[in-house]
Structure 1
């Protein structure tokens, strides 16, 4: 399966748009970046790194980001380039009768060889498998 190329810069732009649309002033003296760091429980340095286009692959950070933005984790994973839409669909809606494989086997079949990328993929797959199916409000923030 071909991974949709998402750059850290694209993720930064998306995140910046998300924050400004929620009222965080990201201007030089706006204080929005620090306020979001406090609100999201993500370190200021990490928020700065993400907004600066230096990427985000730590699953804990992406989960905190999804929670703070009131978005499904899956949306954030796709935006961050951790998963593409096809991978997300395969994890969420495995076809009946399809052979079931472990996240480790999936990483191997997808050719994910880098240790960090492999750990992130496996962790995210396990997290997504535990989420309720789309349309089920169980576990969602109000």
Structure 2
């Protein structure tokens, strides 16, 4: 249980900027809501979408690897049937893929939460599994993480009380 809590905490901290808390993922308010959100996100990234000939759509299409017609459809709120398009979009606009899935209406916030924090049947998460979940693949970092988790597990008091350093 301790490792699972640590995993969630570290994962949250890795994704957030210092001194901030991660914003909750909000569901789309339908296709038009997704199009409006995407339009605002592209404007925030510096793409000029003020008119048909402003060049912002074409510039974003070229930068993202999406076709201009796909970009136009996404801005209209027309959802693709292939989620790989949404993954490409997420990478291009620098928004976590799960957030794009929720905003596009592919997942609800509750479904996303259930996937991110599945209910376990009492099986303990191993430090190695926690490292995998956190994306810690560098051998040196992984060894430090796994050793720290093992050390904390060994030194944790059985009664739940905090031990004070001597």
CA change 1:66–1:80 in 2 (3 A) is same
Q: Does residue 1:51 correspond to 2:75, yes or no?
A: yes
1:35-63 deviation line (CA, Å, top 9, x unaligned): 00111111110110111232234211000
User: Which residue of the other structure, out of 69, 93, 108, is the alignment partner of 1:84?
Assistant: 108
Instruction: Give the distance between the partners of 2:105 and 2:87, measured in 1 at CA.
Output: 14
Residue 39 of structure 1 pairs with residue 47 of structure 2: no
Per the alignment, do residues 69 and 137 of structure 1 end up closer, same or farther by CA in structure 2, a change over 3 Å counting? farther
Give ranges in structure 1 of 5+ residues lacking alignment: 99-131
- Please identify the structure whose Cα radius of gyration is greater: 2
Cα offset, 1:137, TM superposition:
6.2
Structure 1-normalised TM-score?
0.64
Kept after mapping to 1: 8 A contact 2:86/2:100: yes
TM-score, length-scaled by structure 2: 0.55
The alignment status of 1:9 with 2:32, answered yes or no, reads yes
